[in-house]
Amino acid sequence: MLEHAIALIEGLTHLGICTKGSGADNIRNVTGSPTAGIDPQERLDTRAYARAWHHHTLNDRSLYGLPRKFNVGFDGGGAIPVLADTNDIALTAVRAGEGAGVDAGFSFRLGVGGITGHQDFAKHGDVYVKPEDAVAVADADAVVRGFIANGDRTDRKRARLKCVLDAWGLDRFLTEVEGRRRADDKAAAPHRQHDQADVN
């Protein structure tokens, strides 16, 4: 039976069942709208975004140390809500108005710091995320890394984003996140220019 172990693991991985990140106190599974793709009222189909975030956390070892209760939720705005506002990171589909910094149409509104056990809901600044950038531009990633750099992991009861917000306030934390986003954009710029040169 041992001679089939590799084929078995590869087959399970192909089906989306894997053991990456499962050996420690790691980030909990991402949640998405349960009726995504079939709900006529939904603003955005969250399946691709939730899947992309799931694989992003699985394939980046620097994210393996996140606490087990750190939650990320994508809500497509359909008939059955995800209750994303009870998550550390809430990405809720909305129609953003003028001045939101995104194109017309539906986008995700970013909320941070929700936590069910404390009956505290995610706090929202004026941060809207283009759907295609929800993971790629690392808006969610920048929030997570802001928590990794500043969160308290010495006390399991305080290992949530809410505790950072309680100490810092929303504005200071969002400034930290924006700084990380700009640093990521700056680091990625040479690669984008190189890719463009290849196209030309």
DSSP helix/strand/coil, 77: coil
Give the model confidence (pLDDT) of 81-123 as tens digits.
888 888 899 999 988 766 566 677 788 888 999 987 767 898 9
Q: Which fold has domain 24-199?
A: Sulfite Reductase Hemoprotein; domain 1 (3.30.413)
Give the model confidence (pLDDT) of 178-191 as tens digits.
888 777 666 655 44
Q: Do 84 and 111 meet the contact criterion of CB atoms below 8 Å apart?
A: yes
Q: Which residue's entry shows tokens 């929303």?
A: 170
pLDDT band at 36 (very low <50, low <70, confident <90, very high): very high
**What is the domain partition of the chain in residue ranges?**
24-199
DSSP lists the bridge partners of residue 112 as 89, 123
pTM for the whole thing?
0.78
